[in-house]
Amino acid sequence: MTKEQNEAAGASPTLDDRCILASRCKAAGDPARCNAMCSAHAQMHSATGRHTLANVPQDYRLVTAVSSPARESQPKVYRNIDGYIETFDRQFDEGEAPIKSLYLVSATPGTGKTSTACAVLNEYIAHHYAGCVRRGLTPAKRPGYFLDVTAWQADYNEFNRPRVPDEIAEPAAKRYYTAMQHAKEAEFAVMDDIGVRDYSDQFRADLHAVINHRVVNRKPSVYTSNEPIARLPEIFGEDRLADRISDLCVELAFEGESKRGKSRK
Ligand SMILES: Nc1ncnc2c1ncn2[C@@H]1O[C@H](COP(=O)(O)OP(=O)(O)O)[C@@H](O)[C@H]1O
Ligand SMILES: [Mg+2]
């Protein structure tokens, strides 16, 4: 039975429209295999699945390089993104050059930076899983992680205010340090929205610790920002963090006006 016949017959729909492995999967859309029994789907999307643990924001959960809303309006960027994704095989070859980092920038918000960062993250997780399975390797428990730097900073501020009650401070501190650890350890990470002016010295030191750890261990990251790398030293009031960010990193500028609200699903 085809996917369409299957659905016309009232059977439960296949999972290919809610699985980041779909474009790499021979069984995608096959009612006999692409269903709730699929273990690869569970490895991605169950409560402890690799994609679930990556913390991708709900709005961009299933975006891929092909389905990304920004693809059409940012053709130059997406030529680079397509080439970049082809370097993901290097993760399986010790002798290869390391996978680079990306810095996605536009002065205007709503040009598709976060969507694109999530698309690249989803591609990495799918590529990592499929590549490990093909080689008989065990995929990492959390191959990728999305760090919303603004939300992370808000957690920091929440437990560093004077006289904040323990029952508020403790969960915020726990969220903060857990996110910090995941962002350090994941093979691939997104750091969304960096380069805001109001980082305290301590928060900036923690951000530096995460980025430094990743750079030293050759773990690629995708940064998004409203500020070009060249302006970061001035914004941070120091050079070290910007130096780390620019290490083995390709800066891609997003053009045009804000598309926010145009294709929200
Ligand atoms: N080029 C585009 N065409 C259509 N919609 C877009 C485009 N870029 C972004 N969007 C939509 O605009 C909203 C904001 O996109 P987002 O990726 O968060 O932008 P940014 O991170 O650059 O601020 C999202 O709902 C996204 O789907
Ligand atoms: Mg954004």
If phi > 0 it is left, if psi is from -120 to 50 it is alpha, else beta; for residue 68 that is beta
Distance 18 CA to ligand 1 centre (A): 20
CB distance 263 to ligand 1 below 6 Å: yes
Distance 154 CA to ligand 2 centre (A): 16
Residues 158 and 176: their CA atoms lie apart, in Å, by 10
Q: What is the dihedral angle through the alpha carbons of 168, 174, 180, 183, rounded to the nearest 10 degrees?
A: -110
CB distance 68 to ligand 1 below 6 Å: no
Three-class SS string for 105-156?
Answer: ECCCCCCCHHHHHHHHHHHHHHHHHHHHHHHCCCCCCCCEEEEEHHHHHHHH
Residue nearest to atom 13 of ligand 1 (CA): 260
CB distance 115 to ligand 1 below 6 Å: yes
CB distance 256 to ligand 1 below 6 Å: no
For residue range 116-135, list pLDDT tens digits in order: 999 999 999 999 999 999 99
CB distance 112 to ligand 1 below 6 Å: yes
Ligand 1 atom nearest to 264, measured from its CA: 25
Residues 95 and 148: their CA atoms lie apart, in Å, by 32
CB distance 70 to ligand 1 below 6 Å: yes
CB distance 260 to ligand 1 below 6 Å: yes
Burial of 161 (0-12, 13-18, 19+ CB in 10 A): exposed
- The proportion of the chain whose per-residue pLDDT surpasses 90, expressed as a percent, equals 89
Distance 112 CA to ligand 2 centre (A): 7
- The proportion of the chain whose per-residue pLDDT surpasses 70, expressed as a percent, equals 95
Average pLDDT over residues 145-160: 97
What is the pTM assigned to this prediction? 0.94
Residue nearest to atom 24 of ligand 1 (CA): 260
For residue range 57-91, list pLDDT tens digits in order: 999 999 999 999 999 999 999 999 999 999 999 99
Average pLDDT, the chain: 94
Residues 98 and 219: their CA atoms lie apart, in Å, by 8
Distance 114 CA to ligand 1 centre (A): 7
- pLDDT-derived band at 264, boundaries 50, 70, 90: very low
Q: What is the pLDDT of residue 11?
A: 66
Residue 263 has pLDDT above 60, yes or no: no
For residue range 166-189, list pLDDT tens digits in order: 999 999 999 999 999 999 999 999
Closest CA to 149 of 95, 206, 76, 96: 206
Domains of the chain: 1-46 (no CATH), 49-253 (3.40.50.300)
List of residues 6+ apart from 107 with CB closer than 8 A: 226, 227
